[in-house]
Amino acid sequence: MEQHLLPLSAALAWFALACAPRPSGARIAESPEAPGGTALSSGSGDGVDGRELVPASATSGGTASAVTGQGATATASSNPTTAPDPASYGFPKDTLILHVGDSFAGSLGVPLGKRFKAAGMRTVLEFETASYVPTWASNKELPRYIDKYRPSLVIVTLGANEVELTNPEQRAGAVRRLVGKLGGRPCVWVIPPLWKPDTGIFKVIRENSAPCRVLESDTIVRNLELRKDKIHPSDDAREVWADAVLAWLARERAGTDERPWELRAAP
């Protein structure tokens, strides 16, 4: 998985913003870091355009609890069991998965992309820190990514920066427009683990994102360790999260030859 380092000028600008006091309700602007400490802004994935792309991060020391069964949840543990080999899930090889979103997409996308690659698939991770649903619904980047990569599955991780909206219903149209830009492809909207109660944005996403499936991470992981910002999962917790998402996808995939990443209808 390829990731692009921020230019020096952008990195300095980000550092200045990160060090400044945040007003109440300020957007989340953490630049996700790989376990090695590399600051990331956006990236694109494994084997695209003939390149062999390797993630900047290696798997950290923590592993994940195995997740089995429809209602299973994983927890961060000091003595976790080994997660299943990604190749054991029987995912459709040589398919391409596009993952887009905000800093939480970066948090999940790096370890999840490593697992997809281990299962014989290609991935593209494109994320913008501190981005919003309307940003992706209105910009030209998302249609460009869809046209360029023609993914078999799209994963969207957005909404974390909108948990404090006083009128979250205003995002309903943007959610529908974003989903409409995916061209009818199989898709799943991953709601990140919540570090605080939201004012309703995720309810709006659930009610307006069809035909995408919605995966609420708090239903498959809990008690994840957080970084010092008390918002984003720690490096070890990201591995737990990625294993749980991978297991959920394995349970919910009902692919066909024409649509190998078709997901089951929502219960």
pLDDT, tens digit only, all 267 positions of the chain: 544 444 444 444 444 444 444 333 333 333 343 333 323 333 444 333 332 232 322 222 222 222 333 344 555 543 345 889 999 999 999 999 999 999 999 999 999 999 999 999 999 999 999 999 999 999 999 999 999 999 999 999 999 999 999 999 999 999 999 999 999 999 999 999 999 999 999 999 999 999 999 999 999 999 999 999 999 999 999 999 999 999 999 999 999 999 999 999 999
Rounded-to-integer distance, Cα 214 and Cα 206, Å: 6
Q: Which CATH architecture has domain 2-19+27-252?
A: 3-Layer(aba) Sandwich (3.40)
Res 82: pLDDT: 80
The candidate with the shortest Cα–Cα distance to 79, out of 58, 64, 59, is 64
Res 20: pLDDT: 42
8 Å CB contact between 91 and 121: yes
| Two structure tokens written together for 4 | 């692009």
Res 74: pLDDT: 55
Question: In this structure, which amino acid lies at residue 9?
Answer: S
Res 37: pLDDT: 30
Res 181: pLDDT: 98
Domain spans of the chain, in order of start: 2-19+27-252
Helix residue ranges per DSSP H, the chain = 8-19, 103-118, 133-138, 141-149, 172-180, 201-208, 235-252
State the sign of the Cα–Cα–Cα–Cα dihedral 221, 108, 82, 187: positive
- In Å, the largest CA–CA distance within the chain is 52
Q: What is the SS3 string spanning 145-196?
A: HHHHHCCCEEEEECCHHHCCCCCHHHHHHHHHHHHHCCCCCCEEEEECCCCC
pTM above 0.95, yes or no: no
